[in-house]
Structure 1
């Protein structure tokens, strides 16, 4: 099979389309024929050799966390959803634990990491949901806010931020989105109050989801006993005033992903695609994401 991979760390120029063996599904696993996958900032960090923690295997790596495609083979003793060959699915690869990359023609994942794809949605759009949608859902799950609560979301126009706003609206929360001035329309379209990042954040909230990595100064905006979610483990501040602080670490969860698909189908969660790149243009995709300011998923297709 063809796959995007790199055998050394460096800039986008280390990416190449290579031939690799077609993986075989083991017990409880499914092989997916990939139609589309997404690119994330962590992919750029790992490729450049700047990821701060050891990985379970050595180079070469095939990146890719999200997958949209069709079931191609089913391993023995299937667990979880009852898939059949040809089913359209989406899923999340826990890449930092397995380095099973979806920027390939085929990828093998646990059946429990997959769910049925949203009907009528192109694979290129569906592929933008798993990682970022699960991150948003799990951030709000950590906070466990009752309906009517207020939440400030920084980086609100980014992929995860947009999903947090959409899920907050669906849960009956009152969200405020901190974003650039050009993102006002998007933030308000999701029922959130817009707050410009050119101004100092203000107000008092039941919780903060800090995707823009502003940091512990935001605790001043959280009420006593409220909640705060940091974008990664090293950024989690020490609790003060009874504020619960959490770290966002995305976990594979096909059932939770199925909940998100339902909200996509009902129109409660919009999917955004910023660009679509074939394997041969993977370096250009990495360069585009590195430029910043991307509003939507950068998608890789075979």
Structure 2
């Protein structure tokens, strides 16, 4: 089968389409015929060697690329229940230290990392859900705010931020969204009650004008760090979506970082609002597997609203 791998860290040209053996299926595992694989910033960081240099993964002879999977069950291993060949599924491959990732014709995942795909949703759009949807979901779990509380979401027009705004609103939270000036209509349509352009001189001051005393919590998808911390009230809560971007918890603020993990049960709970249209799956475009390098170049260029998806 064909798969995209990295043998030597570097730019988009380091992505190699190789012929590799069809992966076997072990106990508790499911092999998926990949119909679509999302392209995410973590893929570019893996490819460039940033995560290896940070000590988050070991250097390998061959590194697989890609986390998001949407496709059809091809085979199931022993002790697998709830999945059968031919079933449409979505899943998250959350390990960095593997030879094969989601950029491939077939991918093997633990059964607990999979969920039924949203009914009536094409594979390309379904592939935009796992990584970014679960990151937003797990970040909101860490915030643990009650309905009616206020939450700041930075990077609200991005893939994680957009899901965070919608999911926060679905949980009954009042959302202050920070995004580009041209994205106000978008983030309000996703459920934001208030909007702050990211270009304001002082984000914290602008937020506090809208929510006197500061918001109860912040989900920092734009990695603003201490700049966003000032918008949170004393003894509030702050969750960052990338390691190393979290600020010191001044004023008694509880600070956490979300390290996303595969969770089939949570992914199934995300699939329901996605298929009902209450969770927006934003697709920036599709490319053939062989054009993975081009997809990474477009990702690096910025400005995407939604995710690019590779279609094997």
2:72 is matched with 70
Q: Which residue of 1 aligns with 2:142?
A: 142
CA gap 1:280/1:50 in 2 versus in 1, 3 angstroms: same
| Match runs of 1:1-302 below 5 Å | 1-51=1-51, 52-56=54-58, 58-78=60-80, 81-98=81-98, 100-192=100-192, 193-199=194-200, 200-201=202-203, 202=206, 203=208, 204-302=214-312
CA contact (8 A) 1:29 1:111 kept: yes
TM-score with structure 1 length normalisation? 0.96
Deviation at 1:99, TM superposition (A): 5.3
CA displacement 1:26-83 (0-9 Å, x = unmatched): 11000000000111112111211222224256132220101000110001122xx511
Partner of 2:211: none
CA distance in 1, matches of 2:97, 2:15: 21
- Separation in 1 of the partners of 2:99 and 2:37? 15
Q: Following TM superposition, by how much is the alpha carbon of 1:14 offset from its aligned partner in structure 2, in angstroms? A: 1.9
Q: Is the 8 A contact 1:57 1:99 kept in 2?
A: no
Q: Deviations over 1:246-298 (max 9, x none)?
A: 10210110000001001112221000011111011111101000001110111
Inter-CA distance 49–57: structure 2 relative to 1 (3 Å threshold) = closer
1:150-173 CA-partner distances (Å, limit 9, x unpaired): 001110000000000010110010
User: Per the alignment, in what secondary structure is the counterpart of residue 251 of structure 2?
Assistant: coil
1:160 aligns to what SS in structure 2? helix
Q: How many residues align?
A: 300
Distance 1:16 1:221 in 2: 44
Structure 1 runs of 4+ with >6 Å offset:
none
Q: Where do 5+ consecutive residues of structure 2 fail to align?
A: 209-213
Tell me how far apart the structure 2 counterparts of residues 136 and 99 of structure 1 sit (CA, whole Å).
Answer: 27
Kindly provide the CA deviation profile for residues 83-113 of structure 1, in whole angstroms up to 9, marking residues without a partner as x. 1110000000013254540100011100010
